[in-house]
Chain A
Amino acid sequence: MVKTCGALFYRLDWLRLAIGLAAVLAALQWASGAARAVTFIEQAERLQHINAFLLDLRPGQPPRVPDETVLDFALEILPAPDIDNRVGAKDEPIASPAAIPRLRLRYITASGFMVGGTWNPDVEFEGYRAPWTGWEVGYRFVLAGLHTELRLFAISVQVVGPIADKGAEDEFDVYNRGGDLRLGVPLGTAMIYAGGGEGRSESTLRIESDGARLDAETTYTYILAGVGGEWGPMTFTYEQYWSEDYLQHYSISASVRF
């Protein structure tokens, strides 16, 4: 896996400088905070951060400024990596879904203002309920031929169900907010883009069986690179994320404009 990721890094040659710089910054931040070896508290927190980042509201689309005002409906799929749930000497029986599907709606004016949202109703599916609400606002503009978007987001997700024990009503609450910037090079109807952002994540895991309540909070940075193509009224996007130095995941989405 690391090899594939490395290859992707280097194939996008022109992105190397930006990504390289961000990686150096991330490494410096990591080195300054990680002199000690690992304790179970760090493992438990990291596990919680990873699950919180997977639910984040990342851009998910090229920063293209539309020719006319559009309403865009997207189905986004966020595959989750295999997560090592070992905390201390115990494998926490946390069941994470293989992928998270999400519907997103965006309204983008010809002058570049974007407002979007994603919602999931509070209905039970396979023993779980996961109501969420996410909002984003952005401004898109063309800067020296590069399509650019500056974006702010906030998302709050509640996952209720048998997270740690069969049949239990465990609860994982996440509130993430932040902002990002990305720049895209138009290549006909396609666009290659990259950017980065910073967010703040607060999450709480409540485990019914032992009454435990675990809180985790962190400020995180991420970089992203994506490619999107427009075919008629549809846009298809693949977006790769590198979050802190410990999570790599991506989204794919298909959207239709009106």
Chain B
Amino acid sequence: MSKTMVERGGYLVAGLIILGALALAGCLEADTRGGEEPDEVVIQGTPTWDNGIGELLQLKCGVCHSVPPNKISPEGIPQTFDLNVQTTRSDGVLGAQDILTSIQFVVAEGIMPKEQATPLTDGEKSAIQAWDGS
């Protein structure tokens, strides 16, 4: 081995040791907001579409349950109802009021919202159960 090759080897080892030490001081951190509490819609008094339920269903259901589907809506999203509206639309698409019992069923059973979506808080679940469609 020539002298320069030995020298180069020496540089390489010295450099790697220093880099290794620096890397130990390095910062590695990613905040995906993954562990954060979900956004909550707090409803005071009787829940009605205008008093909280509309906002709640749009935020936690309507992002997927939209007709036509949103960019984020999974494939196979039902196109018979839209949870961004309270009553039947002029084009015949049903609103939240029309499928109230199904909504209360899927929420009580924990089927909806889907697992990958923003979860409902306990307060929001009881508000949906207490809603009479008005």
Interface residues of A (CB under 8 A from B): 1-2, 4-5, 8, 36-44, 46-47, 50, 79-90, 92, 210-215, 227, 229, 231-234, 236-238, 240, 242, 245-250, 252, 254
Interface residue ranges of B77-131 to A (CB < 8 Å): 113-119
Check B23–A250 contact: CB distance below 8 A.
Answer: yes
Q: Which residues of A contact B38 (CB under 8 A)?
A: 37-39, 88
Check B35–A248 contact: CB distance below 8 A.
Answer: no
Check B23–A82 contact: CB distance below 8 A.
Answer: no
Known contacts A236-B16, A254-B12, A86 near B23 by CB under 8 Å: no
How many angstroms from the CA of A85 to the CA of B115 in the assembled complex? Answer: 13
Known contacts A88-B119, A238-B19, A238-B22, A83 near B113 by CB under 8 Å: no
Q: Which residues of A contact B12 (CB under 8 A)?
A: 234, 254
B25 in the interface (beta carbon within 8 A)? yes
- Smallest CB separation, A16 vs chain B (Å): 16
Residue of B nearest to A91 (CB): B34
Check B29–A247 contact: CB distance below 8 A.
Answer: yes
The 6 residue pairs across chains A and B that have the minimum distance between CB atoms: A86-B34, A84-B34, A5-B27, A236-B15, A231-B11, A37-B39
Check A250–B32 contact: CB distance below 8 A.
Answer: no
Residues of B contacting A: mostly: loop
User: CB within 8 A of B8: which of A227, A234, A236?
Assistant: A234
B1 in the interface (beta carbon within 8 A)? no
Check A37–B36 contact: CB distance below 8 A.
Answer: yes
Check A88–B117 contact: CB distance below 8 A.
Answer: yes
Q: With A43-B33, A254-B15 given, can you name 9 additional A-B contacts, CB distance below 8 Å?
A: A40-B117, A40-B118, A46-B33, A79-B28, A87-B116, A89-B119, A233-B11, A237-B19, A238-B19
Known contacts A4-B25, A88-B113, A88-B114, A83 near B33 by CB under 8 Å: no
Q: Which residues of B contact A88 (CB under 8 A)?
A: 38, 113-119
Q: Which residues of A contact B67 (CB under 8 A)?
A: none
Residue of B nearest to A226 (CB): B22
B50 in the interface (beta carbon within 8 A)? no
User: CB within 8 A of A249: which of B15, B28, B37?
Assistant: B28
Check A85–B34 contact: CB distance below 8 A.
Answer: yes
How many angstroms from the CA of A240 to the CA of B7 in the assembled complex? Answer: 29
Q: Which residues of A contact B45 (CB under 8 A)?
A: none
Interface residue ranges of B26-52 to A (CB < 8 Å): 26-40
Check B30–A83 contact: CB distance below 8 A.
Answer: yes
Q: Which residues of B contact A232 (CB under 8 A)?
A: 7-8, 11
Check A247–B8 contact: CB distance below 8 A.
Answer: no
Check A234–B15 contact: CB distance below 8 A.
Answer: yes
